Structure 1
Amino acid sequence: MTIPVILNVGVSSAAEVASGNLVLVTTGVTPAVDDLVIACIAYRDSVAFTLPAGWNAINQQSSGNTTAVTASAIASGLMAWIKWTSPAPSLTFTRTGGDVARGVLAVFRGQKATSPLDVSSGATLAANSVTAATATVTTTEDEELIVAMVAGAAAGGSVNFRAVTDPTVGSGVTDQDPGIEGVWTELHDSVTLTGGDTAIAVGYATKATAGATGELRATQAASSRHVMIAAAFKTTLSDRSSVDVSKLAHYDVMLAGSDTAETITKLSRYDVLMAAGTVSVTKFSRYDILVPPTSSFKKRRSQNVILF
């Protein structure tokens, strides 16, 4: 089992409004400063939301209607992100009028410090279906976080968030255990009968290698024109720098605790190397001690001590 770089902190309780502005809440989750916080909102009608100050739009689909007839219902949806601040940012998403809206905050930790959003997609189904779907996203780096949401056009639940190509292990009828790379987890799934009815569901997974996910999907209880939005976020791996050392002399102690990556041609006798990042060593001399979490090396001696 591989633990993802970006970890889920939690998800808030759902906030709801019959019309007008929607104020999301942090009930059920406590974001810390610099956490990645993603707002997921399902709504009916075609009146779009305006984001609060500091929030970054990912995708908004706003061609919905207000009918409660399942076969004729069309959803609208919004996904946005922010790097949490102190004092806390505004959670009031504004609009004039409109029908029911329901939303949550999904909180993650371990994203790239600046500009973590890589790619995204969003779509409103062109015809009624129980499969909400949006186009593939092609990640540019390994270990990216994929977050997907469904805005339901009817008050029916969601199951089995998944990708056609990768990650393919769906969240299933019951949620998978969180924190496993390559496996989808459903974070939230709730419905409301207010107004034209809607439902909100959120799932996530870590994609181990860069590349296309294939179409992203989730199965709905009702056949209507649902909305699905997905986004991929880069991890702290993008922030790591590199240290290149040709040779360490006798008795050197090298401490690299800032998550850097080291490339070292040779360690001399009695060197002690402690690192937080990945270490690549061409040659070890006698009695060297290497303490990284992961490493690769071309040559080592029997007296070397390697601690992982």
Structure 2
Amino acid sequence: MLYPFTDQSRLTSDVDKLVKNVLFKNLRGKRFQDQLNKLYRPFMSMYYSQGYVNYSQSINALMDSAIIFIGAVHPCDVIWDYEMTQKLITELLSYEDQIRRERYDWIYQEKQNKESLGLYFKNLIENRSRVLVIFIELKYLKDQRQNLSIFDFYNHMKKLRKLISKKSSCFEHLTGYAWALEQGYKNGGFHCHLILTYDNSQTYSDWHKAKTIGEKWQEVTDGVGTYHSSHDAETKRKFAIDGKLGIGRIRRDNPQEVENAFTVAGYLTKSDKYDQKLKVWLPKMQTFGHGEFKEK
């Protein structure tokens, strides 16, 4: 695959995956050499074109290890031969503990987030007899991802959260919300999982509400954003048949509906989604958050 140098999400995901395959899946020899040479030049071109950002421990390990063989300047036109590649692998192996520690720290933080979200969501559900629960994934069009950076994602989310906090436009009658930022494992795309609760006495159609939120995301991103919603009648019917419907109208006195809604909310903080952790982010950038509960 050819990588446009601006394809930050795909490149960082693939470089992160490459290093982890060396450490944990025994990727060696010419396979590693070929993949490294395919990724290194476009990654370095992107690296020098971007402002200051943070990278995952896997990417940092590759950068720090490469300094030993090619110097701190990191020229973009390096061709990694077999001997250099073997030495690089040996150096990368010394970073295994640091990369494992990053995973443990992330899992611990997700458990903390889960507890915080669980308490917040419990208050939202118990404070009203009925709430309307909306769950939506906000992402980008496939043919536009290569033109978007973590700076774009950050600014788009900042604009959206501002609208949410002001309860303006499609967020009128909002009673609560939570969000989690992720980066796809297969295609590296930046995306956000967003759950919102509305006053069901003021807002009735969850399908329409999800649609207007998705359209607002498209507006915020100037048309490069898209979304996925499960609020259509057919999808909800399938969930209902399986006894797993946790979106739409949730009644406080229906334990099954409440339990299902908690399962939906819990998707934002699942600790088995480490592969979807951001591999690149801005300093002090939050990847998870929720509102503050205020009693009615």
TM-score band, normalised by shorter chain? under 0.3
TM-score by length of 2: 0.27
TM-score by length of 1: 0.26
Which structure has the larger Rg over C-alpha atoms? 1
Higher share in strand: 1
